[in-house]
């Protein structure tokens, strides 16, 4: 309240006890002193912390918790984990039993919220999706290709992290045009055999690209 005298009955206006009580109460409950703090803590997604980011996560539709394969465990196989071994050295990756749950810290969660919000409001055309990829996946080249009638492909020219895989496959973070069949390829160009000026590796140093 800006001025308590506007609501004070005239017969109490000269009572020191009553006016002191009202003045102190007004100072204690006046929200103006904490409005900026609340705005920065909860309303502004760029500065929000803790519960403020949890609120934004509910708004855009993504939680703070994620489940990813245990990075210290060994598995046989090709997909699902980057730490895999051949036959007789490690078990198959079991999808669920070998996963661990984690809570994203505020900075990581903020980036994920911004990414999810971007994807939610995006008009899913190829130019817009490529702009989304350029802004959201900054560790290397990532792009969206139209490969045929109602088919398209996301290409990442680097190995996706476990967090990125979780967001893509479990939380559908990538925009998906209605009715379009989507495929996702990881293409770390420095890990495959290739040709002149491709950035790929020579004979005896890397396999052919699939």
Name the token pair of 190. 């420095």
Name the token pair of 200. 């790929």
CA-to-CA distance for 42 and 208, rounded, in angstroms?
50
pLDDT given at position 91: 47
pLDDT given at position 143: 94
CA-to-CA distance for 133 and 138, rounded, in angstroms?
8
Q: Are strands 65-69 and 99-103 parallel, antiparallel or unpaired?
A: antiparallel
pLDDT given at position 118: 94
Tally of CA atoms within 13 A in the half-sphere of 155 that contains its CB:
13
pLDDT given at position 182: 92
CA-to-CA distance for 61 and 115, rounded, in angstroms?
11
Residue 53 Cα to chain centre, angstroms: 11
pLDDT in tens, the chain (210 residues): 566 666 777 776 778 888 888 887 777 777 777 788 888 988 999 999 999 999 999 999 999 988 776 555 555 454 444 555 555 555 444 555 556 678 899 999 999 999 999 999 999 999 999 999 999 999 989 999 999 999 999 999 999 988 898 899 888 899 999 999 999 998 887 766 555 445 555 555 555 555
Q: What HEC string does the chain produce?
A: CCCHHHHCCHHHCCCHHHHHHHHHHHHHHCCHHHHHHHHHHHHCCCCCCCHHHHHHHHHHCCCCEEEEECCCCCEECCCCCCCEECCCCCCECCCCCCEEEEECCHHHHHHHHHHHHHHHHCCCCHHHHHHHHHHHCCCCCEEEEEEECCEEEEEECCCCCHHHHHHHHCCCCCCCCCCCEEEEEECCHHHCECCCCCCCECCCCCCECC
pLDDT given at position 89: 52
């Amino acid at each position: 309240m800006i001025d308590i005298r506007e609501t004070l009955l005239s017969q109490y206006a000269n009572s020191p006890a009553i006016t002191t009580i009202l003045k102190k109460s007004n100072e204690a409950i006046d929200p103006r002193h904490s409005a900026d703090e609340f705005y920065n803590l909860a309303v502004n997604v760029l500065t929000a912390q803790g519960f403020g980011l949890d609120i934004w996560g509910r708004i855009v539709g993504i939680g703070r918790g994620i489940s990813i394969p245990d990075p210290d465990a060994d598995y046989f196989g090709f997909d699902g984990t980057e730490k895999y071994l051949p036959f007789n050295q490690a078990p198959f990756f079991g999808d669920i039993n070998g996963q661990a749950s984690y809570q994203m810290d505020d900075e990581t969660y903020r980036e994920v919220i911004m990414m999810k919000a971007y994807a939610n409001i995006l008009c899913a055309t190829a130019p817009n999706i490529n702009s989304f990829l350029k802004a959201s996946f900054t560790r290397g080249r990532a792009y969206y290709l139209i490969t045929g009638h109602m088919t398209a492909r996301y290409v990442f020219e680097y190995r996706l992290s476990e967090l990125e895989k979780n967001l893509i496959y479990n939380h559908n973070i990538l925009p998906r045009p209605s009715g379009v069949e989507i495929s996702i390829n990881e293409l770390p160009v420095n890990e495959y055999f290739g040709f002149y000026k491709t950035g790929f590796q020579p004979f005896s140093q890397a396999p052919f690209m699939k």
